C-alpha cells in the first residue's frame, strides 16, 4: 500500500507493532479539519491527492483488530488520532451505516485457597466455595443495572467458564471464573470495572480466608455517535446517491477499532460503513465486486462533501 501511494507522490508512515506487523498512516492535504478513514489491512484506500477536495484525509490501516483492537489503541496512544474530527471505519455493513456499538469487557476472577485432603477439609481453604460467593453476589449486583441505551439496548453479561480443583480427594486451592460483558455508554467499561473491583474488595474484607483477584483481559469501550451528526448525514446522502436506496442507520452489539479511537479525549463522531455482506468470519467470506467499487465512490463523495 505504501508503494502504491508513493507512485502518486503521497508519503506514508509505518508504526511497528511487532516484528513483521506494522500499521500504516497516510495523510493527504494540509488543513486543520481532518477526516479519518480506518480499516484493518484488507480494506480499500481512499484514492490519491489528484482528487478535488479542500481538506485533509488521514488513512489509519491497522493490524491486531481481530484480537483486541491492539493497534487502534497503539495509534490512539501515540497521538495519531488527536487531530481527527470524524472517522469512517471500513468494516462490512451491507449498505447500512453503524453509528453506535456496544463495548466489550472480558474478565477473570481468580480465587486462591489452601489445599488439604478431602477427609480433613477443615485444614484447607476451598477456593471454589469463595468463588461461588462472588458468583452469587455478582448476580445481585447485575440485577441493579437497569439503564438502557435507546439504540443499543441493555447491559449484557455472560458467565462463560468456571474451573477449579484438580482431583476429587483434595480441597481445591485454585478456581477461576471467566465472563464477558457488552457495555453501553450509560454503564461503560470504567463503571463496570469499578463495580467488579468493589465487589471483590467487599468479599475479601468480609472473609479473611477469601483471596479473590480481578483480572481484566479485555476492555473495549462502547461507541456512540449522534445519528444526526455531520458524518452520518453526509454518508447517508452520498450512499443513497450512488447505491440508489435509502441507507439505514443502526446500532450493533459487535465491536470494532472505534472502541479505541473514541478514547482520544475529544468528541470523535464515527461511523462504520464499508463494502461487504452478512458473511464476516464465515467460511467463504466474500464481497461483491460491484459493492467494493461503489464503496470507493462513496468514500470519495463523503470526503468531498465533508470539506465543503
User: What's the pLDDT band for 116 if we cut at 50, 70, 90?
Assistant: confident
Mind listing the domains of the chain with CATH numbers? 2-101+222-306 (3.40.630.10), 103-220 (3.30.70.360)
Average pLDDT, integer, range 155-171 = 92
Q: pLDDT averaged over the chain?
A: 88
Give how far Cα 248 sits from Cα of 89, 153, 232, 251, Å: 16, 18, 10, 10
Which grid cell is 271? 461511523
The Cα–Cα gap between 62 and 154 comes to 30
Backbone angles phi and psi of 253, in degrees to 5 = -90, -25
Residue 48 has a pLDDT of: 52
pLDDT digit string (tens) for 22-55? 899 999 988 889 999 987 663 334 445 457 667 8
Phi, psi (deg, nearest 5) at residue 100:
-155, 140
Residues 6+ apart with CB under 8 A from 219: 103, 104, 105, 106, 189, 193
What's the CA gap between 94 and 285, in Å, rounded? Answer: 13
Instruction: Give the span between the Cα atoms of 3 and 222, in whole angstroms.
Output: 35
**Which grid cell sits at 32?**
486543520
Average pLDDT rounded to a whole number, residues 284-300: 91
Per-residue model confidence as pLDDT tens digits over 232-275: 999 999 999 999 999 999 888 777 888 888 878 788 999 999 99
Q: Enter the pTM of the model.
A: 0.72
57 beta partners: 28, 35
Phi, psi (degrees; rounded to nearest 5) at 193? -65, -40
Amino acid at each position: 500500500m505504501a508503494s502504491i501511494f508513493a507512485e502518486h507522490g503521497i508519503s506514508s508512515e509505518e508504526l511497528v507493532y511487532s516484528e513483521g506487523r506494522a500499521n500504516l498512516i497516510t495523510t493527504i492535504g494540509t488543513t486543520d479539519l481532518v477526516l479519518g478513514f480506518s480499516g484493518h489491512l484488507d480494506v480499500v484506500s481512499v484514492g490519491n491527492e489528484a482528487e478535488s477536495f479542500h481538506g485533509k484525509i488521514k488513512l489509519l490501516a491497522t493490524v491486531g483488530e481481530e484480537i483486541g483492537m491492539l493497534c487502534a489503541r497503539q495509534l490512539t496512544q501515540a497521538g495519531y488520532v488527536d487531530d481527527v474530527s470524524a472517522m469512517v471505519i471500513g468494516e462490512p455493513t451491507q449498505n447500512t451505516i453503524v453509528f453506535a456499538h456496544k463495548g466489550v469487557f472480558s474478565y477473570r476472577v481468580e480465587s486462591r485457597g489452601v489445599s488439604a485432603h478431602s477427609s480433613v477439609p477443615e485444614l484447607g481453604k476451598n477456593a471454589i466455595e469463595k468463588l461461588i460467593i462472588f458468583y452469587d453476589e455478582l448476580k445481585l449486583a447485575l440485577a441493579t443495572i437497569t439503564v438502557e441505551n435507546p439504540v443499543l439496548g441493555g447491559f449484557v453479561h455472560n458467565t462463560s467458564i468456571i474451573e477449579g480443583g484438580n482431583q476429587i480427594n483434595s480441597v481445591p486451592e485454585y478456581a477461576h471464573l471467566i465472563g464477558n460483558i457488552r457495555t453501553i455508554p450509560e454503564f461503560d467499561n470504567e463503571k463496570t470495572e469499578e463495580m467488579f473491583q468493589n465487589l471483590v474488595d467487599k468479599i475479601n474484607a468480609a472473609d479473611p480466608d477469601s483471596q479473590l483477584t480481578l483480572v481484566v483481559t479485555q476492555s473495549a469501550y462502547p461507541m456512540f455517535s449522534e445519528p444526526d451528526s455531520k458524518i452520518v448525514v453526509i454518508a447517508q446522502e452520498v450512499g443513497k446517491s450512488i447505491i440508489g436506496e435509502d441507507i439505514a442507520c443502526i446500532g450493533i452489539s459487535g465491536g470494532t477499532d472505534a472502541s479505541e479511537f473514541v478514547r482520544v479525549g475529544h468528541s470523535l463522531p464515527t461511523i462504520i460503513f464499508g463494502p461487504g455482506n452478512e458473511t464476516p468470519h464465515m467460511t467463504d467470506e466474500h464481497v461483491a465486486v460491484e459493492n467494493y467499487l461503489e464503496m470507493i465512490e462513496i468514500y470519495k463523495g463523503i470526503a468531498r462533501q465533508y470539506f465543503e
